[in-house]
Structure 1
Amino acid sequence: MTVGLSAAAANTHLDNQGTTYPWIKLHTGDPGAAGTSNAATETTRKQATWASASGGAKTTSADLSWTSVSGSEDYTHFSMWTASTGGSFGGSGTVTANAVTSGDTFTIPAGELDLSLSVAS
């Protein structure tokens, strides 16, 4: 692709995004423009830790685990927030659909939650 951000600009933006919006919430569908639609019954937000961005992409450096989830549903999306409760919405994305039953543990393993931007090449 010949259009997009420079790799350095993309990496800076992604590293700032991960620092500003580290709290991850689960959803059962598209979170929408405000990040509040299709919220999962499991309301706990988990704090992500991220590896440094490289080449316009970054990934989590530790597992995100929700233990003893509070409802039976399919997680399909996530949203990113500035705080563990309340706070500001920073973005959203998809996860591979995962069915859980109340009481299950749901884990997104390290390296499996990714953020990326288009980089000019």
Structure 2
Amino acid sequence: MTLGFSTAAANTHLDNTGTTYPWVKLHVGDPGANGTANAATETTRKQASWASAASASKATNADLVWTGVSGSEDFTHFSLWTASTAGSFGGSGAITANAVTSGDTFTIPSGQLTLTVPVAA
């Protein structure tokens, strides 16, 4: 049995997600079902700029930069939000990152934060 979205539907979903939930928050573990678990000490959300979805994938098209992070920790996950503070949770995912020390600059380079949707094959 084939499961998943058509590529066109996946691209539409991803483009809508990027538009509706552009704010990225960092976490030090799984954000959980509400996006509120394991929040990083660094609480600033950054607004992502996204390229158009293609082939059921969507990637940022500009660096996401946190300057002078608030704590020393390992960022392992992210969550997506409708606003820079408060707002509605839209989803989450894992990131690969090095440990940061308080005061460091942390960057997710352009194209390195991606969203994907399974497609029927």
- For Structure 1 versus Structure 2, the TM-score category normalised by the shorter chain is over 0.9
Query: Match of 2:75, as an amino acid?
Result: Y
State the alpha-carbon separation in 1 of the partners of residues 29 and 3 from structure 2.
Answer: 31
Q: TM-score, normalised by structure 1?
A: 0.97
Match of 1:69 in 2: 69
The answer for unaligned runs of 5 or more in structure 1 is none
Moved more, 1-10 or 47-56: 1-10
By how many angstroms is 1:3 displaced?
Answer: 2.0
What is the CA deviation profile of residues 90-118 of structure 1, one whole-angstrom value per residue up to 9, with x for unaligned ones?
00000003200000000000000000001
Q: CA RMSD in A?
A: 1.0
Q: Which has the higher strand share?
A: 1
Q: Separation in 2 of the partners of 1:20 and 1:117?
A: 16
Match of 2:46 in 1: 46
Q: After superposition, where does 1:1-121 map in structure 2 within 5 Å?
A: 2-121=2-121
Q: Percent identity?
A: 76
How many angstroms does 1:2 deviate by?
3.2
- Secondary structure of 1:87's counterpart equals coil
Q: Which runs of 4+ in 1 moved over 6 A?
A: none
Q: Once the 2 structures are TM-superposed, how far is the Cα of residue 120 of structure 1 from its aligned partner? A: 1.3
